[in-house]
Structure 1
Amino acid sequence: MTGKWDAGMATWEHTPMGRGYETFFGYYHHANDYWTQRLSDSDLHGDICGNLVDLWNTTGPARDRNGTAYVEELFTENTLGIIQRHDPAEPLFLFHSFHLVHTPLQVPASWEQEFGFLTNDAQRKYAAMTAYMDDVTGKIVRKLEEKNMWENTLLVMSSDNGGPTYNIPSIGPGAANNAPLKGGKLSDWEGGVRVNAFVSGGAVPLGKRGSILKDFVHMADWYTTFCSIAGVDPRDEKAAKAGLPPVDGIDHSQLLIGDAKPGSGKRTEIHHSARALLQGQWKLITGGIIDLEILQRDNYSDAQNFGGPLIPYSDYLTGYEAPPETLEGLRSMEDCSAGCLYDVFNDPNEHEDKAKKHPEVVAELKARLKELNSGIFHKYRGTADVAGCTPWNGFYGPFIDTGLHAVSKPATSTEMFV
């Protein structure tokens, strides 16, 4: 694995290595500096621990060559190196998780200059970062072609959420543009949950290439789909013994690379959140996030009461030069306390609320949403622990029962890419 993890690192079991990856070069948090790899002083962990460096190489902290490299350059080199050294006769699962295009908005000057015609600073940087990511994707494809692996590869490209259209003082402008979809990241509007995704590679049958798949595919389905392709059982026996719910994923392998026809997908609904449900053509929204302070603490333990009736980002804005927002009042909020209903097949931009015209659908979806919410795993994330500041001498990393930190030292880029 290369790049962004953002899924826990308190213990080794939480890390990519604890989840089965053989190697991991990347970072654990979600918004470290692209040049210094440090967490921001304004970040929650920065407030507690100071300016920790967040860069890791499998079993210990890592440093780039001279502390000035653009982190995506390091990630690209790592991924290309993995492909170059790989024996094509063996299977390969490679996860390249870009830091791009997440905040902070940072990109090499040469890339930004290409978009000098964009006068807005955030818009210019966002466009340049997107172009950089596109270029890296091309390099990865070309390396697979050079190794004669492309014709046997399934490439999946997907965003994890809609583009941010916020302009929060502590974060800055999101600078994304989801138009004509409504809203963006941090909301259950289509602009926040309907994302860019595609599959490519020689594994895709000729008859399916260039087609548009309108079947529902949820982010949780990728794990189950990949397990099916690899011939691996997706069940998590350890989690089951601990009383955790089963993996929430559907196998779409036949829909993507098999004989299944478009429209025959097995997923009929998407449980977007404790406040929103998509079932067939109908989408119900019952509330949204209005307490960003809770959001920033990552406290999702009370899913039933998370947020209120007002849904933020109820707009179609580009995100560029949007008015400042505060924790107390977010731009363009819509009241869905009674339940808002949209026909996303015929009205994907969510212009017309059909709740009053179809009260029976609202009632049915509310009942189903309540049923699904009863199975939500309410995770307790605990409180900040200063013990996490010390094990790795200024680096962000596992701090509970690590067993290795006393003898480990930061790896250099030379060691990294051998």
Structure 2
Amino acid sequence: ETLLPQILRDAGYQTAMSGKWHLGHAKTDYWPKQRGFDSFYGATVGEIDHFKHASHGIADWYRNNKPIKEPGFDNTLFGQEAVRVINAHDQKKPLFLYLAFTAPHTPFQAPKEYLDRYKNIADENRRAYAAMISVIDDEIGNVVAALEKKGIRDNTLIVYMSDNGGVVNSMFAGDSKVGGKLPADNGPYREGKGTLYEGGTRSVAFMNWPGKIKPGVFNGLMHVVDMLPTLVGLAGAKPGKDKPLDGVDMWPAISEGKPSPRTEIVYNVDPMAGAVREGEWKLLWSATLPQKIELFDLSQDKSEATNLADKYPDKVKVLQARITELAAQMKPPLLLMEAVRLTYFTPLVTPSPEEMFAAGD
């Protein structure tokens, strides 16, 4: 695949990343420097100790492709790096800066001065969660101030988004052991991270560009895959030579208030389950036994409390057919294939070399 930073760099942009990568760490070919970023500072895996910069005791902290050691709270350091990139930026080139905070991902940790701001919150997890959010607030403020000082604030589009809803089930809390109540609250939306319900998949996002985007709310359908064609289009670049994109350019809808061109959301399709949305209708289909089919009208039921599958069997049939169509296009997940191999082809007793030789293996 050709990634957004690769396309923008080919279009003349300086590209920089600070924060969490989590898109391949076992092979350096898949690290940020090899995937379109001129510079990279941060961690490659999905969860690290925010102070030790390590996962399972193994250090995960890099500048470009080289491991480094330094003290500090990771999210503060990510913000500081973003400011450094802005301050050093040569304005002869446009800049694409990707800042990926790890807060408020587990483990729930924050610097003491931030924890002290929330002494009134009795619950320990909730206090740390609030403190972590405040770190993000302050670092984003520092980034905006750096843009203003550099004189490029009015020529900069800022995009803020989350990758999923808050975690409300300890099964999806990550590698860290979390005691007590989980602190996230997804409001009226059902469940949270790790599920295909709205609490897990619907997340807040905003765009800010003075003079280019009017203050207001955009409620049209938009999927994260729409970010690439939207930003590439704004940069005057071309998407590249990849296979056809699933994303669509949302800029006319965002900047001019036009209707969203998107009518479908594909939440996920894998051998175990699938979920799609067409307009206001959403189908969740769990194929594992016992099979479960749920149909919701999100215009009337944003909390996904009333299953309408029995009432609208024709709608179920249409959306199931769409999931089946999508499933036919996908490659089997490597994790599932490995599980099948281990289940059906791994002997329960390891044979001796002599036995293996005799068997012709």
- TM > 0.5 between the two? yes
The answer for the alignment partner of 2:353 in structure 1 is none
Partner of 1:369: 323
Q: Which residue of 1 aligns with 2:195?
A: 187
Q: In the alignment, what sits opposite 2:11?
A: none
Residues 1:34 and 2:41 are matched in the alignment: no
Q: Corresponding residue for 2:68?
A: 62
In structure 2, the partner of 1:251 is 249
- Paired amino acid for 2:210: G
Q: Which deviations, in whole Å up to 9, do the C-alpha atoms of 1:278-327 show, x marking residues without a partner?
A: 1100010112xxxxxxxxxxxxxxxxx6xx367xxxxxxxxxxxxxxxxx
Corresponding residue of 2:262: 267
Amino acid in the other structure paired with 2:296: Y
Contact kept in structure 2, 1:163 and 1:174, CA below 8 Å: no
Please say if 1:25 is aligned against 2:41.
yes
Q: Who is 1:15 aligned against?
A: 31
1:94 is matched with which residue: 86, 93, 97? Answer: 97
Report the Cα distance in structure 1 between the residues aligned to 2:33 and 2:312, rounded to whole angstroms: 49
For residue 203 of structure 1, report the CA deviation from its aligned partner: 5.7
Q: Distance in 2 between matches of 1:104 and 1:177?
A: 17
Equivalence for 2:136:
133
Root-mean-square deviation over aligned CA pairs = 1.9
Residue pair 2:76, 2:135 contacting (<8 A) in 1 also: no
Residues of 2 paired with 1:309 and 1:22: CA distance?
48
Distance 1:83 1:196 in 2: 25
One-letter amino acid matched to 2:48:
N
Matched, 1:171 2:187: no
Q: Distance in 2 between matches of 1:61 and 1:17?
A: 13
2:208 is the counterpart of 1:200: yes
Say whether the 8 Å CA contact 1:3–1:97 is kept in structure 2.
yes
* CA distances 1:244-295 after superposition (whole Å, capped 9, x unpaired): x5432211122223x4x34x211111110121111100010112xxxxxxxx
TM-aligned CA distance change 1:309 to 1:58, over 3 Å: same
Equivalent position SS for 2:282: strand
**Structure-1 separation of matches of 2:146 and 2:154:** 12
For these two proteins, the number of residue pairs brought into alignment is 312
Asked which structure has the greater CA Rg, the reply is 2
Q: CA deviation at 1:338?
A: 4.3
CA contact (8 A) 1:235 1:247 kept: no
Secondary structure, counterpart of 1:105 in structure 2? coil
- List alignment gaps of at least 5 residues for structure 1: 41-50, 238-244, 288-304, 311-336, 384-418
1:144-163 equivalence runs, <5 A: 144-163=147-166
Higher relative contact order (CA 8 A, sep 6+): 1
2-structure distance, mates of 1:139, 1:201? 17
Q: Which residue of 1 aligns with 2:281?
A: 282
CA contact (8 A) 2:79 2:140 kept: no
Query: Which structure dedicates a bigger proportion of its chain to helix?
Result: 2
> Aligned equivalents of 2:83 and 2:292: distance in 1?
52
Q: Secondary structure at the match of 2:326?
A: helix
User: Displacement, 1:202?
Assistant: 2.1
CA distance, structure 1, for counterparts of residue 65 and residue 104 of structure 2: 27
1:397 corresponding residue in structure 2: none
Instruction: Report if aligned partners of 2:159, 2:207 keep a CA contact under 8 Å in 1.
Output: yes
Letter of the structure 2 residue corresponding to residue 8 of structure 1: G
Q: CA deviation at 1:89?
A: 4.2
More strand by share: 2
Change (3 A) 1:57 1:271: same
Amino acid at match of 2:281: W
- TM-aligned CA deviation for residue 10 of structure 1: 3.0
The answer to whether residue 21 in structure 2 is matched with residue 5 in structure 1 is yes
Q: Residue type matched to 2:28 in 1?
A: W
Q: Deviations over 1:15-50 (max 9, x none)?
A: 11111110000100011111111112xxxxxxxxxx
Which amino acid is the alignment partner of residue 106 of structure 2? T
Post-superposition offset of 1:201:
2.2
1:360 and 2:314 correspond: yes
